[in-house]
A = this chain, B = another copy of it.
Amino acid sequence: MEELLQKGRLAREASYYLSSLNTRTKNNILNKAAENLISERKIILEANEEDMKSAKDEGLKGAILDRLLMNEERIRAMSHGLMAISLLEDPVGEIVMMKRRPNGLLVGQQRVPIGVIGIIYESRPNVTADVFGLCLKTGNAAILRGGKEAFRTNKAITVVMQSTLYSMKIPQGTLQLVENTSRESAVAMMKLNQFIDLLIPRGGAGLIKAVVQNSTVPVIETGVGNCHIYIDEYADPDKAISITVNAKTQRPGVCNAAETVLIHEKAAEKILRPLADELKKKGVEIRGDQRVRNMIPEAVKLTDEDWSTEYLDLIIAAGIVNSPDDAINHINHYGSGHSECIVTENYTHAQEFLARVDAAAVYVNASTRFTDGYEFGFGAEIGISTQKLHARGPMGLRELTTTKYIIYGNGQIRV
């Protein structure tokens, strides 16, 4: 696809320029862009009005419309986001290690930008500014391919960023929005290995799966979270109930919310009834296995599919297990490798759970809702990786860099 080849070339060129841009200049750009988002907010709001109108005409509803909406407050939030990124430490240039070898070679490993990052995303137009900020700060060029329904809004935000870049003589390939929003443009991006170094899909499970299945460009998979709380025999009942209720209900629509609670049979007698009552107060539907339903008769009957389901809703699967081992095996079998928690006062059970559960984030006695770049202290986040290569868990600025070896010699040759 001609558009993508051309944008790919410009992005690659820009990436060489950006890789040696100093941090102060990058921060100035971010702050100027943050200002311009506010001063040019009218063009963004007008574009968004048109997108909203088309979306309504096409019959889009509730949550989708809300994700698409831009207003003064959301523009301020994007602007603050860029300023916040300007305050973070720049990972580029850091020497991760440097050692002198026996032959005198000084071998160092240095953090450098990845190069060109492609993002394929769905409705939320704030992603446009967020990704620009994160990529620019880490010296990467960005090619964005947003959804059709948000195109006018994404375009307006991009134009504001681009005019900021232009006024500061930064190459236009630094940030580009793909104009073609057909399925073909997404597919073309997934095959653009010569110009795109990394592709990050941001959106629903369907989008992410399609990218993972079809991309020859390396992908970082984000988002799917089938998270568990395991309430051990030695759990403190108050912690067990407050952590489970928090992990399920504090924001049920996000990936680090809990979807299943597993309770040790000996803890169930004491904890299951009050836990069910607290969950019900918050409007949560409980789907229980046979032994749960024996104790909580009003629980809905659970099928095997429930164990694998990311409800993203006020529903929780509940099961009784006979041992920490059973819980760990269940989690490793059904979990999506996102965030998993044990509630226990038993030292050995806690350490075993931490060691043996195979997930991006494993908790003892804390809500899974903390799996988040801000909560972990990274100051920003481009997504939460549930894969194991390159980045696992919340991805901050550091995860948008790679390394290269730099070697200082004085004439060494290999013999």
Q: Report which A residues bind B (CB closer than 8 A).
A: 16, 19-20, 99, 101, 105, 107, 109, 114-115, 193, 197-198, 212-213, 216, 218-220, 236, 238-239, 242-243, 246-247, 250, 332, 354-356, 358-367, 369-371, 375-377, 387-390, 392-394, 402-415
CB distance from A385 to the nearest CB of B (A): 10
CB distance from A296 to the nearest CB of B (A): 23
29 A-B pairs with CB atoms under 8 Å apart are: A16-B332, A19-B358, A20-B355, A105-B375, A107-B377, A114-B388, A115-B358, A193-B212, A198-B389, A242-B413, A246-B414, A247-B413, A359-B404, A360-B404, A361-B406, A361-B407, A362-B405, A365-B408, A365-B410, A366-B412, A367-B412, A375-B414, A376-B405, A389-B390, A392-B403, A392-B405, A393-B403, A393-B404, A393-B405
> 5 closest A-B pairs (Cβ-Cβ)?
A366-B409, A246-B413, A369-B414, A390-B390, A388-B402
Which chain B residue lies CB-closest to A369?
B414
Which chain B residue lies CB-closest to A333?
B12
Residues A365 and B101 in contact in the complex (CB < 8 Å), given A198-B389, A355-B20 = no
Decide if B414 touches A367 in the complex (CB within 8 Å): yes
Chain B residues contacting A358 (CB-CB under 8 Å) are 16, 19, 115, 404
Which chain B residue lies CB-closest to A366?
B409
Decide if B407 touches A366 in the complex (CB within 8 Å): yes
Decide if B19 touches A363 in the complex (CB within 8 Å): no
Complex CA gap A91/B42 in Å reads 54
Decide if B20 touches A356 in the complex (CB within 8 Å): yes
Complex CA gap A354/B93 in Å reads 11
Decide if B370 touches A105 in the complex (CB within 8 Å): yes
Partner of A404, one of B362, B377, B408: B362
Which chain B residue lies CB-closest to A114?
B388
Chain B residues contacting A20 (CB-CB under 8 Å) are 355-356
Complex CA gap A387/B114 in Å reads 10
Partner of A389, one of B105, B402, B407, B411: B402
Supply 18 further A-B pairs (C-beta < 8 A) apart from A101-B377, A359-B404, A366-B412: A99-B377, A105-B366, A105-B375, A115-B358, A197-B388, A197-B389, A198-B389, A212-B216, A239-B411, A247-B413, A250-B414, A358-B404, A364-B407, A365-B411, A366-B407, A367-B414, A370-B414, A389-B389
Chain B residues contacting A403 (CB-CB under 8 Å) are 392-393
Partner of A16, one of B356, B359, B376: B356
Chain B residues contacting A412 (CB-CB under 8 Å) are 365-367, 370
Which chain B residue lies CB-closest to A401?
B388
Decide if A101 touches B16 in the complex (CB within 8 Å): no
CB distance from A183 to the nearest CB of B (A): 19
Chain B residues contacting A193 (CB-CB under 8 Å) are 212
